[in-house]
């Protein structure tokens, strides 16, 4: 059975769903039959995504909420709007984030040293990338636990990026998210709610990377397509992933020519008993 079949009528919140990877997630989920709430900071982006979803699958399948994930009340509002619109809440994709361009437009050619980073942009990255996922997970977890089912997927980055020179605080913000994910997975064990991490496996072709044209590169080379995690995300949010909790999947390792369970097995990163962080 295709993992997509269990996604029909499943209600999913995608943060940062107005552009980039989040927008691709929303469209993939709509195509799989899910109902989606997307949060974003820009109403015009949400309006564009709403139009795309309606054109693809018809009305009544999408709600857009203008919200800042670092605002606890805004996160609660996203959950309330979802329950009002769809009467249920099954999945959360913590995708919203900002990158090193918020610190320096030249970070990929002249990485800033940590003491050169302006304080407020530095703080913004930590609050949106680490505090925001906590606030969203905190808002959804009681509903999921009460229902005996839930999926939380946190979008992360490669371990090399977490400690790469000039990538403070983006790398550390994702390291914090990974540590929280491991703890949340243990806290939610035996509740029917799982927490897993999904990462592309390299820089993606989004606005996180400055510049334009064929010359754009990530720190690891050629940019990956923004859809690189779509197949893995659908599997993680489906019933097929029920046995998986507290693990990491790498989008670029997902082989779409394989059966989904086998593709997932090959995309899973081995998990040590104790995290090796240095």
Instruction: Report in angstroms the alpha-carbon separations of 169 from 162, 176, 234, 248.
Output: 9, 10, 29, 21
Say what the pLDDT of residue 4 is.
Answer: 83
Say what the pLDDT of residue 110 is.
Answer: 78
Burial class from Cβ neighbours inside 10 Å (0-12, 13-18, 19+) for residue 71 reads middle
Say what the pLDDT of residue 216 is.
Answer: 55
- The domains found in the chain, sorted by start residue, are 3-267 (3.40.50.720)
Q: Which residues contact 16 (CB under 8 A, 6 or more apart)?
A: 22, 39, 40, 69, 95, 96, 97
Measured between alpha carbons, how far is 196 from 36 in angstroms, rounded to an integer? 19
Summary mean pLDDT of the chain: 91
Enter the tokens of residue 246: 């507290």
Count other C-beta atoms under 10 Å from residue 119's C-beta: 7
In this predicted structure, the answer to whether residue 185 has a pLDDT above a threshold of 70 is yes
Residue 170 known to be catalytic: yes
Candidate list 170, 184, 235, 254, residue with the active-site label? 170
The helix-helix angle for 132-147 and 170-187 (nearest 10°) equals: 20
Say what the pLDDT of residue 215 is.
Answer: 56
**Cα dihedral value 208, 171, 228, 108, nearest 10:** 40
Q: How confident is the model at residue 109 (pLDDT cuts 50, 70, 90)?
A: confident
The 10s digit of each residue's pLDDT in 46-62 is 999 999 999 999 999 99
Mapping DSSP to helix (H, G, I), strand (E, B) and coil, where does residue 220 land?
coil
In this predicted structure, the answer to whether residue 205 has a pLDDT above a threshold of 90 is no
The 10s digit of each residue's pLDDT in 167-182 is 889 999 999 999 999 9
The 10s digit of each residue's pLDDT in 222-269 is 788 889 999 999 999 999 999 999 999 999 999 999 999 999 999 999
In this predicted structure, the answer to whether residue 122 has a pLDDT above a threshold of 80 is yes
Q: Provide the 8-state DSSP code for 127.
A: I
Say what the pLDDT of residue 270 is.
Answer: 86
Say what the pLDDT of residue 1 is.
Answer: 47
């Amino acid at each position: 059975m295709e993992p997509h079949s269990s996604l029909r009528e499943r209600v999913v919140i995608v943060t940062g769903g107005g552009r980039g990877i989040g927008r691709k997630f929303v469209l993939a989920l709509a195509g799989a039959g899910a109902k989606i709430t997307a949060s974003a900071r820009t109403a015009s982006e949400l309006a564009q995504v709403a139009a795309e979803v309606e054109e693809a699958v018809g009305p009544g399948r999408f709600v857009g909420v203008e919200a800042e994930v670092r605002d606890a009340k805004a996160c609660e509002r996203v959950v309330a709007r979802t329950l009002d619109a769809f009467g249920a809440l099954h999945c959360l994709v913590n995708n919203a984030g900002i990158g090193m361009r918020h610190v320096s437009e030249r970070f990929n050619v002249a990485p800033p040293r940590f003491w050169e980073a302006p304080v407020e942009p530095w703080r913004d990255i930590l609050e949106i990338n680490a505090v925001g996922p906590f606030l969203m997970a905190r808002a959804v977890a009681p509903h999921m636990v009460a229902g005996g089912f839930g999926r939380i997927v946190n979008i992360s980055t490669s371990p090399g990026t977490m400690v790469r020179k000039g990538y403070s605080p983006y790398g550390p913000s994702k390291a914090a998210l990974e540590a929280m994910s491991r703890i949340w997975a243990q806290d939610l064990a035996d509740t029917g709610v799982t927490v897993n991490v999904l990462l592309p496996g390299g820089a993606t072709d989004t606005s996180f990377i400055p510049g334009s044209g064929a010359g754009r590169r990530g720190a690891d080379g050629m940019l990956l397509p923004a859809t690189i995690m779509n197949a893995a995300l659908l599997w993680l949010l489906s019933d097929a992933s029920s046995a998986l909790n507290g693990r990491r999947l790498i989008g670029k390792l997902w082989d779409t020519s394989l059966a989904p369970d086998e593709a997932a097995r090959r995309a899973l990163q081995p998990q040590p008993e104790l995290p090796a962080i240095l």
